[in-house]
Amino acid sequence: MDMIGSLLGLGGGNSVLSGRLLGPSPEQLFRDYKSKLEKNLNTKIFMLYQGKETSWMSSFTGSETISWTQAKDFIDFLRDEVERSPAPAPAPEDHIAEIFDNTSEKKKEESEDEDEKEEKVLEIPQKYEGRIDIILHCNGGDAYATEILVHLLLDYTAGPIHVWIPYKAMSAGTLIAMAVDKIHLESKAHMGPIDPQYSWGIAANDVLAVDLKNSASSVGDAMLFVQKGAEKVVNDWNVMIDSIASYHGWSEEQKRTVRERLMFRGSSHGKPIFLPEMREILQHVENAEEGKETWPLMLELSKNYMNCNEKKSY
């Protein structure tokens, strides 16, 4: 409550009624603090945290992941923010056209039905143009949700996007973070390899590496079917990496580095990758603690969000 209370002026103001302490609930405290922080930083904040629901991946890993629920929440978040954005002002040419309009066009405009005029509204822009700060925390995510989130980040936003990682952004979380302008990684937090996982929680790369030449025919036929599926997963991941590379303007050397050190690194999928190595791999990774004014506030917001969801195992 100290940092949040001082920012919002909530400290020391609790009262007692019928023997019970009255004060803001964790949820209200979080909402108020988030709103104040957004106003002070001129941004919109989205909490991208792993969900409680079980997916096929969590049934194998025993952990919660980002799924369709979080992707849908981000879709709604973008829709809401676009609708709240002020309509763009008409271009200067529109004003000139109105001033120098000829008589016939004026008469045509006057003859238009009034109901039709009322229906003429400015189109809502497809991209949100303001800054977005995402606080990201996850063990990973399913491929479906990951592809949706990467697509939204690359194609439906026009302003700067910053991701803050207070604890971890593993697997798909690392891939999602790659699709933003700046990654703020705390020195004690970590990211992880992005080698896609296939059936039964096995890395797709390992499935493709199986030599079928010396396998029994029945085993070989079954494994060939599995390998075709694994190949599709790897291809999908490669398409996303190419899209991210295009967004950042990476050279072929940079793309090769990302694939070699994140997708085909040869370590276990759960290998934590800390700040020094991530800065070598991705140029848009920064030490979160270098943002001396912003980082403590983002970290406090993250902790407060966890307090609101204390029954979840983060």
35 half-sphere exposure, CB direction, 13 A CA radius: 7
Taking the C-alpha atoms of 271, 275, 279 and 280 in order, what is their torsion angle to the nearest 10 degrees?
-50
Token pair, residue 272, equals 């934590």
Contacts of 179 (CB under 8 A, 6+ apart): 149, 150, 153, 154, 243, 244, 247
Winning range, highest mean pLDDT, from 1-15, 89-103, 276-290 = 276-290
User: Is the Cβ–Cβ distance between 171 and 197 less than 8 Å?
Assistant: yes
Q: Tell how far CA 241 is from the center of its chain.
A: 15
Arithmetic mean of pLDDT, 234-242: 93
Per DSSP, the residues of 150-192 read HHHHHHSB-S-EEEEESSEE-THHHHHHHTSSEEEE-TT-EE-
Report whether pLDDT(240) > 70.
yes
Please state whether the predicted TM-score (pTM) of the whole model is above 0.95.
no
Q: What does the pLDDT read at residue 120?
A: 37
Q: What is the pLDDT of residues 112-146, one digit of tens each?
A: 444 443 343 334 357 899 999 999 999 998 888 99
**What domains appear along the chain, each with residue ranges and CATH number?**
24-84+126-308 (3.90.226.10)
Per the model's pLDDT, the better-predicted residue between 238 and 116 turns out to be 238
Residue in this structure with the two tokens 């063990």, named with its chain if needed: 139
Token pair, residue 133, equals 């700060």
Q: Strand pairing partners for 17?
A: 20
Confidence of residue 273 (pLDDT cuts 50, 70, 90): very high
Q: What is the pLDDT of residues 71-120, one digit of tens each?
A: 999 999 999 998 887 654 444 444 333 433 444 444 445 444 444 433 43
Rg from Cα positions in the chain: 25
